[in-house]
């Protein structure tokens, strides 16, 4: 392993701000092509979230923040009252792009508050941009901190299962669950990763394997249905996943199929870890029952890469996320430290600390 796995400068940031433009890695083109898209309007930023050009809770949040900056710049020639009205309308629309990842709402509200507190439209646009750009560095710092805390939980040697993609591609860089794995490898641990393919959109197969292969971290792709038997055979030391929203009691929403992996892990006595920044923790929701679950186009289930596999006209159900009950989670790894069950008091303490520091880690 030659690469310094804490150095993320060699790969483009998943979300970036370059000369007044929002630059994204086009995740719908991976793994075939590493392509960048540059966006100049808040509507384009919103669409990129909705069509999953950018995906993963922290990456969605940072894109939304920069989308708000684009809105503030775009409307900065308006009179103050119209400016505030136009930016608020943009905020409402960006917020509605996807319902489950709370980072989206958290980021929009954070930039909206900066705009509202600004004395003039021009100043509002400048401050919105500065605040949104600062969130990119904050995100990377939170991931690196999560990696440091979480790496301690991984074995010195062994296989880790992950589901979906909670890597550099799901964040600005480095990753949450994959950040933990990167940090463990950087510490000298001999980690091999099993990556669930993650039907229907195949984020594990397309994105997680791509990232880990680039880093030289050994990875084996499996279909989602193969994870339980690996656990039964004693071949999984632990499971590490990300989250889109964590309720105050520790119930965690993540990509559909995460719950099945958690049930299997519990049955086989395999520790199940969730790595998420505090911007993913929704202290307003007492339990995961209140987490809105996105339902996407049924064609994502009946088709793969545009090829229909089911007979024409067969209905399909396509919930994009599920909720893993806190009782199945051994620890939640945040940028402020590791929380163990019962999660309520620990999450409240760390969320309060992050709020006092003015950010989210
Ligand atoms: O539908 P996606 O690809 O946006 O779903 C992403 C996930 O479920 C990730 O695991 C989650 O956002 C955590 S990313 C650090």
Write phi, then psi, for 223 (nearest 5 degrees). Answer: -80, 160
Q: In DSSP terms, which residues pair with 153 in a beta bridge?
A: none
Residue-wise pLDDT for 73-96, tens only, equals 999 999 999 999 999 999 999 999
Nearest to 148 by CA among 186, 191, 194, 193: 186
Write phi, then psi, for 188 (nearest 5 degrees). Answer: 105, 5
Q: Do domains 15-143 and 148-357 have the same CATH topology?
A: no
Q: Please state, in angstroms and rounded to a whole number, the distance separating the CA atoms of residues 247 and 176.
A: 18
Which residue numbers are catalytic? 244
The DSSP line for 182-246 is HHHHHTT-EEEEEEE--TTTTHIIIIIHHHHHHHT--EEEE-GGGHHHHHHTT--SEEEE--SEE
pLDDT at 314 exceeding the cut of 80: yes
Task: Report CA torsion sign: 124, 127, 129, 131.
Answer: negative
CA of 286 to the centre of ligand 1 (A): 21
Q: Residue 3 — very low, low, confident or very high, per pLDDT cuts 50/70/90?
A: very low
Q: Where are the domains of the chain?
A: 15-143, 148-357
Mean pLDDT along residues 32-55: 98
Q: Please state, in angstroms and rounded to a whole number, the distance separating the CA atoms of residues 361 and 345.
A: 17
Percent of the chain with pLDDT over 70: 97
Q: Please state, in angstroms and rounded to a whole number, the distance separating the CA atoms of residues 15 and 175.
A: 12
Task: Report CA torsion sign: 359, 37, 28, 91.
Answer: positive
Q: State residue 2's pLDDT score.
A: 39
CA of 126 to the centre of ligand 1 (A): 30
Q: State residue 358's pLDDT score.
A: 74
Residue that is written with structure tokens 């599920």 in the block = 322
Contact 270, 238 (CB under 8 A): yes
Q: State residue 7's pLDDT score.
A: 56
Mean pLDDT along residues 331-337: 97
61 Cβ closer than 6 Å to some ligand 1 atom: no
Give the ligand 1 atom nearest the CA of 176.
15
Mutate to test the pocket of ligand 1, among 177, 199, 239, 254 (most ligand atoms within 8 A of CB): 254
Q: State residue 1's pLDDT score.
A: 38
Mutate to test the pocket of ligand 1, among 164, 197, 300, 322 (most ligand atoms within 8 A of CB): 164
Domain 148-357 in CATH 3.40.1160.10? The answer is: no
Q: State residue 357's pLDDT score.
A: 82
pLDDT at 126 exceeding the cut of 70: yes
CA of 99 to the centre of ligand 1 (A): 12
Mean pLDDT along residues 132-160: 98
Q: Residue 5 — very low, low, confident or very high, per pLDDT cuts 50/70/90?
A: low
pLDDT at 112 exceeding the cut of 90: yes
The DSSP line for 6-51 is T--TTS--SEEEETTEEEEE-TTSTTT---EEEE-SHHHHHHHHHT
Q: State residue 354's pLDDT score.
A: 87
Residue-wise pLDDT for 201-222, tens only, equals 999 999 999 999 999 999 999 9
Average pLDDT, the chain: 96
Q: Please state, in angstroms and rounded to a whole number, the distance separating the CA atoms of residues 175 and 160.
A: 15
Give the ligand 1 atom nearest the CA of 167.
15
CATH architecture of 15-143: Up-down Bundle (1.20)
Mutate to test the pocket of ligand 1, among 53, 203, 252, 324 (most ligand atoms within 8 A of CB): 203
């Amino acid at each position: 392993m030659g690469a310094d796995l804490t150095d993320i400068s060699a790969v483009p940031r998943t979300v970036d701000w370059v000369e007044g433009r929002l630059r994204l890695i086009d995740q719908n083109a991976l793994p075939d092509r590493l392509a960048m898209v540059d966006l100049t309007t808040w509507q384009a930023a919103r669409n990129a979230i909705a069509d999953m050009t950018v995906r993963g809770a922290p990456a969605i949040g940072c894109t939304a923040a920069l989308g708000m900056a684009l809105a503030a710049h775009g409307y900065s020639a308006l009179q103050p009252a119209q400016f505030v009205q136009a930016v608020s309308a943009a905020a409402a629309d960006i917020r509605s792009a996807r319902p489950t990842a709370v980072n989206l709402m958290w980021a929009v509200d954070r930039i909206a508050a900066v705009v509202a507190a600004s004395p003039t439209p021009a100043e509002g646009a400048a401050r919105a941009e500065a605040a949104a750009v600062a969130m990119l560095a904050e995100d990377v710092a939170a991931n690196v901190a999560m990696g440091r805390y979480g790496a301690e939980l991984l074995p010195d040697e062994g296989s880790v299962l992950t589901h979906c993609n909670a890597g550099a591609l799901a964040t600005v860089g480095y990753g949450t669950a994959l950040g933990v794995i990167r940090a463990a490898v950087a510490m000298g641990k001999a980690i091999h990763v099993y990556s669930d393919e993650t039907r229907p959109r195949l984020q594990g197969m397309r994105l997680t394997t791509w990232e880990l292969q680039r880093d030289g971290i050994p990875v084996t792709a499996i279909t989602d249905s193969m994870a339980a038997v690996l656990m039964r055979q004693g071949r999984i030391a632990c499971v590490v996943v990300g989250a889109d929203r964590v309720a105050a009691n520790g119930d965690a929403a993540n990509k559909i199929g995460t719950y099945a992996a958690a049930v299997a892990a519990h049955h086989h006595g395999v520790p199940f870890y969730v790595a998420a920044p505090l911007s993913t923790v929704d202290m307003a929701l007492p339990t995961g029952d209140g987490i809105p679950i996105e339902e996407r186009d049924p064609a994502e289930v009946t088709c793969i890469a545009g090829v229909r596999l089911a007979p024409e006209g067969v209905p399909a159900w396509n919930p994009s996320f599920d909720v893993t009950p806190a009782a199945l989670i051994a620890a939640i790894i945040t940028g402020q430290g590791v929380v163990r069950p019962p999660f309520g008091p620990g999450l409240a303490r760390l969320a309060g600390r992050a709020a006092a520091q003015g950010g989210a880690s």
